[in-house]
Structure 1
Amino acid sequence: MTATAPGALRGPQRHACRPPARPASARARRAPDPSRGQALIAALLLLTLLAAGGLLAGGELRARAHALAHARSVEALATARAALIGYAISYAETHPGEGYGFLPCPDAANTGSTPIGACGARGTAAVGRLPWRTLGLPELRDGWGECLWYAVAGSVKHNPKPQALNWDSPGQFRLLDPAGRALPVAAADGMAVAVVFSPGPPRSGQIRPGTRGTSCAGGASTADLAHYLDPGHPRAGSGEIDIALHPATLDEEAPNDLAAWIGLDDLFDALRRRRDHAGHVDAILARSANALAARLAADRAAWLTRHARSRGALATGVLPAAETLGIAAALRPLIDDWREQIHFAACADGSACIGVVRPAAAGERCRAVLAFGGERIRSGPERQLRTTAAERADPAAWFEGRNVAALRVGVPEFEGAEHFRVAAPERPATEDVIRCLP
């Protein structure tokens, strides 16, 4: 709409007879028009309201700009998180002969790529830039134009790899709210295995150097962390690491980092949705069972003496290392990732004393069995905990039903499926697997 200029005439001009002009003296003696003062007051009031409205509009615009930047940051974090999970559940395809669940080391050279070598010692956390090139992403930036930072636990990083990685591996990062309370993480121990950070705009005291021949501003050193992340940010090292997180506000002096995190259950819940996941785990069990059967066939009594404990009618134990089982070196890491979850039992007298009950199938008599506990039961009265050494030493942390008594006190009765299977991809596959050995 076109504005109309003050004082302009609208429509065609109309001429009318005008009364004779008054003498100047009459005009001078005219009384003041009170409407003129009211108009002035109204004009001043209008200016005041417009000025206040401008200030309010400026604050609203600032809030809207902040909200937009916040939303862009959240989107970048979600993209990074999804890419990390995708990397973990496809690791064996990009690294033939290795398992699943590994996450990349952080970018240590500000190039967008994970380093060729190791990132710290085995079992220690590493912190750096998000390796967006390694993840097959464009250069991700948050809503304020800053590149993302990333911390990965030693229990899942790909170099050097942990001694074992499976769905019961520990996390390393404890996420805390401003009151020091733990934030929820999808993991049995409540610890995250990876955290991605949006640093947001610089706060007072944060000095962010300009680009040094790289696409991301600043250096590659973690010494720059304090200039990007809030106090309480992650550090490299061993043991449990606390990370303080704060809600986003418009206060320029308040902590302003945004974060997205991954728990171990996030990785294996996604992996379980792969159609070939059950076959991958079952192949590991088959290879373990064949190797164990070969050891028992070669020298049953001596082998059980070295690797089993006598419990009632049975000799039981946890699967030994793949090297002890005589498995080829290239295949050992896959077996060792899972061996703590694999138990065995053999009849002490060498007979077929073990009865195995199958779901909807005929039972079997066995001289020995390999038992695999499956995923833990996460809730309810039968909830299983596998976070401490004492918990892991109890067969009830791994098995259910009569299998617990069999492994605890040597009752030679087991029950379970012959093969590992995923009945419902959205739920943990907790069913015990019992393989009969000759």
Structure 2
Amino acid sequence: MAIPTRIAELADIIATKTKIVDDYIRSHDLPSLSFEANGSLAVPVPESATEVIEAQHEVIACTQELNELMKGPTEVLKTRFVADILEIQFVQRFGIAKLIPLDGAMSYEELAAATGLDMIDIKRVLKRAMLNHFFQEKDCKVAHTSTSRVMQENEAVTNIAELFTEEIWPSFAKTVEALDRFKGRPHVPEETGFSIANNTPKGMYAFFSESPVRMERFARAMGGFAATEDFSLALTGFDWTKVSTVVDVGGAWGPCSIELARAFPDLKCIVQDFEDVVAEGPSKVPAELRSRISFEAHNMFDPQTVVGADVYFFRAIFHNWSDVRCVEILRSHMDALKPGAHIVINDKVLATPKVSPPWAEKKSRTMDLTMLALFGSRERTYEDWVDLIREASPRFQVNYAGPPSHIIDIVWQ
């Protein structure tokens, strides 16, 4: 009997795993996946349905592998297009998605009149974007798909797209140059792809502090990430029922504290961030939660001003900073810690290669490169986290709730 080829194996896996996802969607009467304008804007499967999520991830990984095997390595390298990002930047910067009505279409002439752009340029970009299911053509006019509809209806995604195309993309283009120019030296925010792209000797945060417009863009994108991520895993990855007071350090305008306060009625949260960031926080908090969520301007590198809280919570903060600076953050909190207090870090933990599905691992590795390009920082393995925390103080006991919550619980002894 002939041994099945890899492409035949992949086809079988894709069929089997796709059926698991499709059966779940059908049995729960969820909307079918489609690129039509009225299609679902996200795969309607909750993270708690772990078997289905694993099947989804395997389908993504196997279809990508099959796609690349069918192309061959030479064609794969030739067709990894940066033009995909150009399309998103074009649509985002000129507000194309918001111009086109959800239940209608616009001609290329109308889009040219509305944007002031040359009609030929609009056509050449959008016609390629349509090959990525980003808009579609109906009766020679431009209409929405579910993909383009996201950028009209979901402000969080639009804010993330703006950060990617206006800040991260230029920084990526200069990252290899930064590695070459500053090789042999420890990574610092002042010597990154971002600093070269912006012709500045400053790191991103220092540079943005002098540009309110770009700082606002960054803050909106961070709020976008918080709004689009499944926070439920953080709610279950730590026992919040034994907690009275949480200090949400670097918590922006408080999206994480809002979710915590909703889930645990006895919890009080103090959100700390830069003064201009927390200023808008109170307006974001639902009326029924305002008595339990307060805001305070604070620099996390300064000594912690809230003494004796049960938990000091950091979500997606430490990966923005080098090991040396992370140690400084931990040490800046030590005088405020009572015995048994927790520093809870909700940050990605890089898995050993080939443990996670390739698609999930690629997302984490992409974020790792993003941290390199913007901050000279990194994502970390569990061993990296332990080394960093122990360097801060031997009094820290490290507990780790592995995937999917990625909660690192540090207890002050």
Q: Would you say same fold, with TM above 0.5?
A: no
What interval of TM-score do these two structures reach, taking the shorter chain for normalisation?
Answer: under 0.3
| TM-score, normalising length: structure 1 | 0.25
More helix by share: 2
- Higher gyration radius (CA): 1
